[in-house]
Amino acid sequence: MRAAPLVLAGLLSAPLAAQGCQRPEPMPGGFPTQFDFVVPVTLSDGYQTFGTRIVPQGPAPACGWPLVVFVHPLGQHRAFDQDLQLLVASQGYAVWTYDVRGHGQAVGANPATATGCTLWGPVELLDLAEHLDFVLGHVDWAGSIDPSRVAVTGSSQGGAHAWSAAAWSGRLLQVPGRPPRTMPTIHCAVAHDLAADPTDDWVRDGVLFSTFFTNVIAGAYAHMGVPFDAAFTAVGRAAFLAQDPGQLLAGLVAEGRATRADLASSVVPVLYTHSYHDFVGGPLPGLEALLATAGPHRALLGTGGHGTPANQAERGFRDGLALRWFNRFLWGIPNEVEFEAPCILAELPLSATVRDDPATAWNRAHLADPLQPTATTRWYLHDDGTLDPLLPELPQAPGTIAQAIDPAAVDFDPTGWLDVPGVRDLANVLQACPLAERVYACTTSTEAQLAHSARVHLRLVPDRAEWMLAALLTVQPPGAGATEVMLGSRAIASRTSTAGVAEEREFLLPPVAARIPAGSTVRLRLRNLWLDEAPMQRQLMTVPLFHDFQVDVVHADAVGGSWLEVPLQPVRPKLVSAATSLDLGTLPPLALQLRGGAERAGLPYLLAVGMGGQVPSIPYLGEDVPIEGDWLVGVSVASQQAPYFTGFLGFLDADGVANGQLDFSSIAPMPTFLTGWCLTAGGFVWDGIFASTGAPTNPLDVVFR
């Protein structure tokens, strides 16, 4: 066991030496780092801002350190998430982080007449390009940073910058009043917590104004201390007062903010992460844009984001995946990260106790495309409020969702929405514009898992040109005290319908992974307001329409009716660990948990670990175990001996759970050049003793540091 890691070290070091720029081996725990804390930067329009450079201590490699640019969220500053900045720098990267226009030290360094924040627009993108040129051309840093290996990352506003950098890599940027500049070549991007294209977030379904955007132009975020650009907010205000989303969309496109087409032709490798439930916007538009890109791409959906509970275990997994992305596309380490399943969906716990525990590792599903399920269950909408696989018996009465504005409501109009803060208060909205909904429900008979997008098909008859409907998919587990949990939501709308004329609307809900116990109640809620529910704080995602309308939902057969397609599948075993990294110097014991599902209680299982990654997988009993069959897999399967492999073979308990432990502490330390590589675990659960069928688990990666 002690000799095996050294053999592996020799095998893996060859690809690195062949690159012509050997990555220095980090010392245990990573390189010590050094700072240039306050570096003034003057942009081409005279705007003064500040940056911080973090680099490993000691001489840089001959080619220089790869550069990772961190861009902070809206209302923050360059020291945001500094622990992650330090972690990245300690793994052999130069880090540059700066105060975005209108943020941090930049606010006090510029006159009030300076161009303010325009919400990740062309101005900010040109600023990013100028920061890159500044860092890469700094005379005192010559040779320490490699201009041929550059990444951009960030969350929220920073995520938007990462998306835009990928879309505009190597292209000419032009902003009125400033010299044109070519965006330096971006070699990979890691975008967290924001959709790829602002037009998808700010104007939903092409016709609805998002509450986040209208809050910006209404001044609701003044407490952040960010000076928003007056001209920018005036354009948004004019479009909203005219209730003309097309006007706003046209302006955004003309300004160069629409990035979907540019992303589709971009070959920049993009890693995208997003929360299922995020008050700025959901993950669906970003995922659709990502899957259409020409370059390597991966997505991680789950927890975190705006207004969602923080989960340290899931955040650690996210950061480890981002480091692997940088290692692959900046240092050239062949860690196979781009060949693994393109989409990882964390399994949303239905129990609030589990969901809100920051140390709980969520289950994960690894998918090729969460928007394209292999099979679905179709439930037809019946006029008695049921979801049923059987066609409705005709005739059926339509389901009506009618919005009726309170005639006594004061200032409930576009002007009042922007100028009177109390109008936007949720309690006032629900009084002025009461919630109207139609609910359809069914009860599940067996335990199942959801790991793709649900699809809604509605035949609708509106009574006027302008209307909207929100669709919420929820589940309520069985048992006293169980609460209803929203899995996903979306709104559809029109400003050009013909009154009394039926129209078909078919749309996807955002993908989500969840385990649905037998006896759960699944509901489809159709509403006049896009009002998100638990586990989110109750809040409006889009601004209501300020007039009465009525929409009838037609209940009929498969030709002229309405239905919900839910991709329910049998539960697959899941392998999880709260640990997301292993210290090479000490190799502390790694606890693994196999969650097979209640229906697999008592069945035999096997765990295995390897260092070859996830691909190629191991075919077994007609399934694919997502772990490469290297020497360590053979040892872990064959020996099953303590202290190295405890609980690697046995039977699931009464809850369908088993616990294993990997303990290599006696052979520590491992070679430090393995920093950034992974230990991969996988498992298999048979359908019975000596059964010729069964199911593999997901892969579980733990990064060496």
Q: What are the structural domain ranges in the chain?
A: 20-197+259-367, 202-256, 379-568, 574-704
DSSP helix/strand/coil, 151 = strand
pLDDT digits (tens, 9 = 90+) for 652-682: 999 999 999 999 999 999 888 888 899 999 9
- How much is the pLDDT for 480? 92
pLDDT at 20: 60
Burial class (CB within 10 angstroms; exposed 0-12, middle 13-18, buried 19+) of 172: exposed
**Angstrom distance (rounded) from CA 221 to CA 231:** 17
Give the torsion sign (CA, 73, 77, 82, 88).
positive
Rounded Cα distance between 435 and 452, Å, is: 29
- Confirm whether 20-197+259-367 and 574-704 share one CATH topology: no
CATH fold, domain 20-197+259-367, is Rossmann fold (3.40.50)
Cα three-residue angle 274-280-284, rounded to 5 degrees = 45
Q: Is residue 338 within 8 Å of residue 269, measured between CB atoms? A: yes
Separation of alpha carbons 300 and 273, rounded Å: 5
User: 327 by DSSP, 3-state: which?
Assistant: helix
- Residue 300 identity: L
pLDDT above 80: residue 250: yes
Categorize the per-residue pLDDT at 319 as very low, low, confident or very high, splitting at 50, 70 and 90.
Answer: very high
Rounded to an integer, what is the distance from CA 690 to the centroid of its chain? 41
Write the pLDDT tens digit of every residue in 428-444. Answer: 999 999 999 999 999 99
Range 601-629 average pLDDT: 96
Measured in degrees and rounded to the nearest 5, phi and psi for residue 48 equal: -100, 125
Q: What is the pLDDT of residue 309?
A: 77
- The CA distance from 541 to 530, in Å, is 6
| CATH fold for the domain made of 379-568 | Jelly Rolls (2.60.120)
Contact 608, 628 (CB under 8 A): no
Q: Which two tokens stand for residue 159?
A: 């995520």
**Three-class secondary structure of residue 147 per DSSP:** strand
Eight-class DSSP state of 572: P
Closest CA to 432 of 525, 537, 552, 540: 540
C-beta neighbour count of 34 within 10 angstroms:
12
The secondary structure element, H or E, covering residue 550 is: strand 549-553
Dihedral class, residue 226 (left if φ above 0, else alpha if ψ from -120 to 50, else beta):
beta
| Predicted local confidence at residue 7, as pLDDT | 36
CA dist list (Å): 287 to 211, 214, 275: 21, 24, 12
Rounded Cα–Cα distance for residues 292 and 341 (Å): 16
Closest CA to 92 of 642, 697, 674: 674
Kindly indicate the confidence band of residue 2, based on its pLDDT and cuts at 50, 70 and 90: very low
Check whether 227 has a pLDDT greater than 90: yes
Is the pLDDT assigned to residue 55 strictly greater than 60? yes
Overall average pLDDT of the 2-17 stretch: 38
Q: Report how far residue 198's alpha carbon sits from residue 94's, in angstroms, rounded to the nearest whole number.
A: 29
Cis check for the bond before 535: say yes or no (omega within 30 of 0).
yes
How far, in Å, are 212, 328, 332, 670 from residue 15 at the CA level? 47, 12, 9, 19
Strand, helix or coil for residue 292:
coil
CB 459 within 8 A of CB 469: no
Residue with tokens 């781009």: 338
The model's pLDDT over 179-203, given as tens digits with 9 standing for 90+, comes to 999 999 999 999 999 989 988 989 9
Give residue 56's pLDDT band: very low, low, confident or very high (50, 70, 90).
very high
Neighbours of 369 (CB within 10 A): 15
Half-sphere exposure for 143 (CA within 13 Å, toward CB):
5
Question: Rounded to an integer, what distance in angstroms lies between the CA atom of residue 327 and that of residue 321?
Answer: 10
Distances 154 to 100, 164, 576 between C-alpha atoms, Å:
12, 12, 26
CA of 228: how far to CAs of 159, 205, 213, 233, 423, in Å?
19, 25, 12, 7, 22
The pLDDT of residue 25 is 86
467-476: strand order across its sheet: 437-443, 521-527, 467-476, 485-494
How far is CA 615 from each of CA 259, 461, 624, rounded to the nearest angstrom?
Answer: 32, 50, 10
Kindly tell me the burial class for residue 704, based on how many C-beta atoms sit within 10 Å of its own C-beta (0-12, 13-18, 19 or more).
buried
Backbone angles phi, psi at 251, to 5 degrees: -65, -40
Instruction: State the pLDDT at residue 681.
Output: 97
**Residue 313: what pLDDT?**
94
Contact 232, 121 (CB under 8 A): yes
Give me the sign of the Cα torsion angle 600, 605, 610, 614. negative
Q: CA nearest 568: which of 450, 660, 648?
A: 450
Give pLDDT, residue 15. 39
Q: What percent of the chain has pLDDT over 70?
A: 97
The DSSP bridge pattern shows strands 531-532 and 539-540 to be antiparallel
The answer to whether 475 and 455 have CB atoms below 8 angstroms apart is: no
Give DSSP secondary structure letters for 637-655: HHH--TTTEESSEEE--TT
Instruction: Return the minimum-mean-pLDDT range out of 79-88, 104-113, 509-518, 633-642.
Output: 633-642
d(CA 283, CA 273): 8
pLDDT-derived band at 11 (thresholds 50, 70, 90) equals: very low
Cα-Cα-Cα-Cα dihedral sign, residues 408, 413, 415, 421: positive
CA 241/CA 264 separation, integer angstroms: 33
Burial of 109 (0-12, 13-18, 19+ CB in 10 A): middle
Please spell the DSSP secondary structure of 135-192, one letter per residue: HHT-GGGTTTEEEEEEEEEEETHHHHHHHHHHHHTT-EE--TTS--EEPPPP-EEEEE
Nearest to 349 by CA among 317, 320, 314, 300: 314
CATH class of the 574-704 domain in this structure: mainly beta
Per-residue pLDDT averaged across 517-538, rounded? 96
Residue 13 has pLDDT above 50, yes or no: no
Determine the residue type at 545.
L
Is pLDDT at 650 greater than 90 in this prediction? Answer: yes
What mean pLDDT do residues 505-533 have? 97
Residues 166, 703: Cα–Cα separation, whole Å: 26
The CA distance from 140 to 688, in Å, is: 67
pLDDT score for 697: 98
The model's pLDDT over 112-168, given as tens digits with 9 standing for 90+, comes to 999 999 999 999 999 999 999 999 999 999 999 999 999 999 999 999 999 999 999
Q: Which two tokens stand for residue 639?
A: 């020996």
Residue 501: Cβ within 10 Å count: 9
Question: Nearest Cα to 456, choosing from 369, 523, 528, 520?
Answer: 523
631: three-class secondary structure by DSSP: helix
Residues 386-410: pLDDT tens digits?
Answer: 999 999 999 999 999 999 999 999 9
Q: Provide the mean pLDDT of the chain.
A: 94
Q: Which residue has the tokens 């360059």?
A: 78
Q: What was the pLDDT predicted at 591? A: 97
Whether residue 16 is predicted with pLDDT greater than 80 in this model: the reply is no
Rounded to an integer, the average pLDDT of 545-554 is: 98
Closest among 56, 51, 57, 48 to 70, alpha carbons compared: 51
